[in-house]
Structure formats: structure tokens, C-alpha cells
Amino acid sequence: MAKILDGRVIAAEIQREVAADVAALRELGIQPGLTVILAGDDPASPLYVRNKMRMCETLGIRSETITPPPDVTTEELLAIVERLNADDNVDGILIQLPMFKQIDSKRVLMAVDPAKDVDGIHPVNAGNLATQRPGLVSCTPAGIIEILKRSGVTIAGARAVVVGRSDIVGKPVALLLLHEHATVTLCHSRTRDLAAITRQADILVAALGKPESITGDYIKPGAVVIDVGTSRVPDASAPKGMRWAGDVHFPSASAVAGAITPVPGGVGPLTIIMLMVNTVKASRLRRAAARNK
């Protein structure tokens, strides 16, 4: 049976470190600040935002949620982003997705100052990551690296396979693994004989968005499996007829893998705490850049 990599324990460890960083900044008269723009009607989004705001409050990070009306226009949102870009009390700006259908979400996301892009998805930050320059890294990929390192997994020299090529998870985690000296293969929906490739992985990251599609047959014995997926699937035995599932079929995978992240409780807890890490990092980087001008 595989070792369970408990994301909650690792997130709690990082939370203590962030709390110390925030306290040190506040002694200097600096309070990091995060603003979330919630302009969408996805029923899950308010819960996600509340969890982020709660963590800010716990850590002593100034937080604000802006909730424009349902008929808000792209131009109105761009004006809000412009105001936040200019506000020195705001270190991080997070655009909660998905947005209302009438919004040009790409325009809004690209309008965020890269120095305040705590989601790490602006092309400037993507370029910084690709070229190993200082910048803000997408929260989930950064959390995956923390899980591996803090669990004692050797990345350097390992064969890593990432399944999924999204701009938010797949591509950045592939780059982060490469920077840690892994040999990386990035797979996707057009990859031929996927299982033959994933079975070569010492570290397998599943981020394809298809619940329980990676079974034990896809996994090299003893491999470390990181499951990024989060889907609700029907389950008559569950209290509400639904349960959370990852992209990995946990029962068969855990019988083969050496270590595995569960869903829930694996990668998920790292995503929120890495958002806090990015907010503090943005606060430090912005002030350092201002001093060097």
C-alpha cells in the first residue's frame, strides 16, 4: 500500500512559516494585502473565496473581496483592476474564475499588474518561470513542488511525467520539475499510448481533468503519484449520492505506487496556502523593486 502524502500537514507547516513572515513584515510597518474580484455566478466560487479570505484573516494579511453586479461590463472590470494596480496597499490581485459570460476574462486577467498577479498566470510571470527569473508562480504547481520536497522525494535525476498541458497547472509544473533537474515528459489528450509513457515515471503528475482515468495499470511500481484532479462523481454509497474524486483511480493506483496524494486532502490544501505565500512574496518583491528604482 502506498504512503499517503498528506497535503493538510504540509500546508499547516507552510502556514506557520507564512505567519512568521507576515509578523516580520508588520514589525516593519508593512501589512501584505490581497484583493479578490468575484464577478461570476459559479455556485462554488463564493465558498472558494471565503476560504481564501479566512486564511488571510488567520495570517494577518489584509483582504478585500470586490463583488460587482451581474450586469458588470468588461470595461468596468478593467477600471477596477486599474485602480487596484495603482493602490500601494494591494500586493495581490486575484480574479476568481469563471467570470460572468459577458466578460472578456482574458482582457481582465491580462490587465492585472504582473507584480500583483498572485495566480502566476500573466505572460510576464509565465516568461519569468520559463527563464528562471524572479516572479510569481502558479499556486497549484508551486504547491506540488512543496509536497515533493517536504516529503523527501528526490526530484533531481528522476523521470517525471505530467499528464495535462494547461497554462495553470500542466505547463508550469513541468517547468518547475525541469528546474529541479528532473527529466520531464509532458503528455496530453493527443499522446499516443499514454500508459506506456506514464509507466516510465518515477514521479507522475495527473492534471488532465478526467476523474479516475489514471488507474494502477498506468503506474510504475513504487512511483510517486500526485493527483491534481478534483471532480464530484456519483456514488450511491456516499451521504449525498456524490463524492470527490481525483484524476487517479485511488484504489488501484495506491496498490502500485510508492506514495500518492489523496483527494481530497492532497494538493488542494497547498493551493490556498501558496496563494498566501505569493501575496507575501509580491509584497517583498514590489518593495524591493521600488527601492532599486
Catalytic member of 96, 116, 247, 281:
96
Q: How are beta strands 259-260 and 3-4 bridged, if at all?
A: parallel
Q: CA dist 174 to 142, 164, 179, 181, Å?
A: 11, 10, 9, 11
210 is catalytic: no
Cβ-in-10-Å burial (0-12, 13-18, 19+) of 119 comes to buried
Q: CA dist 96 to 42, 149, 170, 232, Å?
A: 10, 29, 19, 20
Q: CA dist 170 to 165, 179, 224, 260, Å?
A: 4, 14, 17, 18
Give the separation between CA 96 and CA 38, rounded to whole angstroms: 5
Catalytic member of 91, 116, 117, 119:
119
Residue with cell 490587465: 111
Catalytic member of 15, 52, 91, 116:
52
Residue with cell 535525476: 157
Give the separation between CA 88 and CA 32, rounded to whole angstroms: 10
Task: Classify residue 243 as left (phi > 0), alpha (psi -120 to 50) or beta.
Answer: beta
CB 261 within 8 A of CB 207: no
96 is catalytic: yes
CA dihedral 29, 31, 32, 36 (to 10 degrees): -150
Query: Which residues are identified as catalytic?
Result: 52, 96, 119
